[in-house]
Structure 1
């Protein structure tokens, strides 16, 4: 089949949307399908053997590094020339809206993937009172899709309450070989630890919407060295806020695998995550997770089994949860082993096969099954 992927984010931006689109394209290539990618510039011209067409993008206020694709009329022309059997909208906001409109005008089925809590993102950057307007726009886009795939039960309930129809759950995969306890690196640990004994870390974008400043409440825990892996606009303020923290910057490949596996405790600080891929990667690495009891992490972290949950805005509880794990190597080991066990079946191959099943339903004209939440 021929799939046109219109994505709000792609390389060189590294985030959940980019990562998911990359895995989808690799799966399509491996199974002999054809694809076209439309994404904001700058970016590669080819990925997984498929052409990537870049359209103009604009940096967001307060986060200029994040480029939002502009909904140009060129999108419809590109899709018409490619002749897709199906249009895939990855986290549609602006460029995705143009993709939805083009699919409708061309009479092509459309699958939308909800992946970004835009209203929560806007609030994090000071745009208060915009929720109603944002949700109206999201409804407008997703009502044009034959199906909207959501990554977690929390997102399903959120979109259902907002009147978005034809919803189905579609989670994310994890590479259990790449993210594996075997990558634990004692030399790296010694370098990061210095005179401390326990590494408590975060991996992801260092940005306001990820609330990385909450790590500061853990900095004076006895024996603890805070590690924040990643880059973003909040890096300078985080470095000033926690001078004792280790901030190795953006890591990829083997360095990222080693960083995850070398942690003793993983702390997820964001409260607006629709899934929480970094949580799943930490779990695959055999690291117990402390995460807010909201959004995507609720589907991933089983409290007092694979990790611990805390009330999203309660820094005292966050501190207590982390301190509990810091004090008990045996508890860390037990939760870490259970965490890895919990995600071993979530391969990208199986997840992308499930996506192809959704494509098939849409292409054959069958009404997609809406997953009921139990």
Structure 2
């Protein structure tokens, strides 16, 4: 099969969308499929034998941390030359919106995936919040042009249905259970993240440092408990602001980590803290669980789909400091901690990337069949 993936973000960027796409591409290539990736030009030309064609990006005024590529007719030329069996528009808003437009124009089967809850993010950028209804109309139009749509959780599926987006299915989550593994626990890494204070309970947050991630909500916990250290791993537009916010607390900022170093950071902590309620899933939750960590998370539809309270993690009420402090206090129960670590790992083992990537491939075939049947109906 010839697969064209048009995405708003790709390597070397690091986020849940990129992780899912790279794992899928790796799997598709192992099965002998030909893959073309069209993405913002960030210097990557090949991934696992898939050709990556970059299109010149720009920096948008409201989000200068990451470059984006605007819709362009170049996508039409690339799709015509490649002649794909299916076009996958990943999170169509800008560049991937071109994939929607030209896949329809050129009559290629089209699947679209909803990964990033951008309309929700606008709630955290007051100057752009009034544009939220316009953005939803744009998203609805793009996704309803696809033969089939995928999202990443049942909670988001229900929200998209309420927005009248059609032909929706939930794509199974996945995790690299080999490289996110308790065996990577490392004393040197733990010393680095706690500044050598072995008496502290180590919580970690890993992800993009942006307002919508709501990392600031963790600060009251640190102010109430001097026996806890927080390691914030990642980078982003809100880093300087967060460093100022957490000044005077037991907080370590490391910047980005990758590869084995990141695996060690995951496995060397006591628990993972996840304060955001804006995620469509939060693949990092499953990465933490695969590393043998209980996840302390604010309640939201997607987090409650992944975490069983006092089994694989601890849930607290969003925007409720007392609830968060109470949840974290349960980490002092050593028997409960050990049980959650074991159950978190067992749960994560159900979601190896191979299964999720095969499911995506199955949806590709389903999309092609649906598209062809519709064309035959029209022809007859």
TM range (shorter): over 0.9
> Alpha-carbon deviation of 1:367?
9.6
**2:31 aligns to what?**
31
Q: Which piece of structure 1 moves more, 331-340 or 135-144? A: 331-340
Tell me how far apart the structure 2 counterparts of residues 76 and 120 of structure 1 sit (CA, whole Å): 30
Determine if the alignment matches structure 1 residue 222 to structure 2 residue 223.
no
1:246 aligned to 2:256?
no
The offset of 1:308, in angstroms, is 1.3
SS in 2 for 1:54: strand
Structure 2 counterpart of 1:321? 327
Unmatched tracts of structure 2, length 5 or more = 374-380
1:198 pairs, out of 179, 197, 201, with: 201
Q: How does 1:92-131 map to 2 (within 5 A)?
A: 92-126=92-126, 127-131=128-132
Q: Is residue 162 of structure 1 aligned with residue 163 of structure 2?
A: yes
How far, CA to CA, are the matches of 1:61 and 1:336 in structure 2? 42
Inter-partner Cα distance in structure 2 for 1:190 and 1:5 = 41
Q: Distance in 2 between matches of 1:216 and 1:342?
A: 29
Contact preservation (8 Å) 1:69, 1:95: yes
Matches within 5 A, 1:50-129: 50-126=50-126, 127-129=128-130
1:171 equivalent to 2:172? Answer yes
Name the residue aligned to 1:41.
41
TM-score, length of structure 2 as denominator length: 0.93
Query: Which residue in the other structure is 1:371 paired with?
Result: none
Matched residue, 2:378 = none
SS in 1 for 2:266: helix
RMSD over aligned Cα atoms: 1.6
- What is the CA–CA distance in structure 1 between the aligned matches of 2:95 and 2:318, rounded to whole Å? 31
**Mapped pair 1:235 → 2:239:** yes
Return the alpha-carbon distance in structure 1 between the equivalents of residues 228 and 124 of structure 2. 28
Greater shift in the superposed pair: 13-22 or 186-195: 186-195
Give the Cα–Cα distance (whole angstroms) in 1 for the partners of residues 318 and 61 of structure 2. Answer: 25
Where in structure 2 are the equivalents of 1:301-316 lying within 5 Å? 301-316=307-322
Map of 1:358 onto structure 2: 363
Please state whether the residue corresponding to 2:351 is helix, strand or coil: coil
Q: Secondary structure at the match of 2:370?
A: coil
Number of the residue aligned with 2:376:
none
Q: Distance in 1 between matches of 2:290 and 2:182?
A: 8
Per-residue CA deviation, residues 46-76 of structure 1 (Å, 9 max, x unaligned), is 1111211111322233431222221011111
Q: 1:60 to 1:297 in 2, by over 3 A?
A: farther
**Deviant stretches of 4+, over 6 Å:** none
Write the deviation string for residues 110-135 of structure 1: whole angstroms up to 9, x where unpaired. 01111011111222222223221111
1:273–1:295: 8 Å Cα contact kept in structure 2? Answer: no
Offset of residue 297 of structure 1: 1.4
The Cα of 1:241 is off from its aligned counterpart by: 2.0
- Does 2:341 match 1:336? yes
- The SS at the match of 1:345 is helix
Q: Distance in 2 between matches of 1:296 and 1:58?
A: 32
Cα deviation, 1:187-207, whole Å, max 9, x if unaligned, reads 222333233421011111111
TM-fit CA distance, 1:260: 0.5
More helix, by proportion: 2
SS at match of 2:76: helix
